[in-house]
Amino acid sequence: MNMMNYKGFQARIEYDESDEILVGRIAGIQDVIGFHGDSVAALKAAFHEAVDDYIETCAKLGKTPQKPHSGKVMFRIDPEIHRKAAIAAELSGKSLNQWAEEALSRAVEEKDNHAEARLGA
């Protein structure tokens, strides 16, 4: 997946083959904000403009712009993976929350680096 980041907002980027353009949508919020461009530079400018317009519009409406996610994560995993993660956390002297946050952070950083390299950002 290709992504862009700006002012704490992330956007998912796809190629629209029928129109031969790059299309983006801000991820992680309920408001629908899309943008497009015919090059990476145009797409990046459109993304920045979309975010800036969203923030400005929210201010005019007296609305707080949505920011993605609270920081609380609850999900189910295989009990064996849970056991192994708990042991790994304990052996590293960390709580499972601390250990999982670091593991998720590394995975996200690796994915972001890969996505940015693919976009040439």
pLDDT tens by residue, 80-120: 999 999 999 899 888 898 999 999 999 988 887 777 777 66
CB 50 within 8 A of CB 7: no
**What local confidence, expressed as pLDDT, does residue 120 receive?**
67
Is it the case that residue 31 has pLDDT exceeding 60? yes
DSSP 93: T
**What local confidence, expressed as pLDDT, does residue 69 receive?**
62
**What local confidence, expressed as pLDDT, does residue 119 receive?**
67
pLDDT digits (tens, 9 = 90+) for 46-80: 999 999 999 999 999 999 898 766 677 788 999 99
> What long-range pairs does 55-58 form, CB within 8 A, spacing at least 24?
55/7
Q: Which two tokens stand for residue 107?
A: 């995975």
Q: Which amino acid makes up residue 77?
A: I
CB 73 within 8 A of CB 107: no
| 17 SS3 class | coil
Nearest to 37 by CA among 29, 28, 49, 27: 49
Q: How confident is the model at residue 1 (pLDDT cuts 50, 70, 90)?
A: low
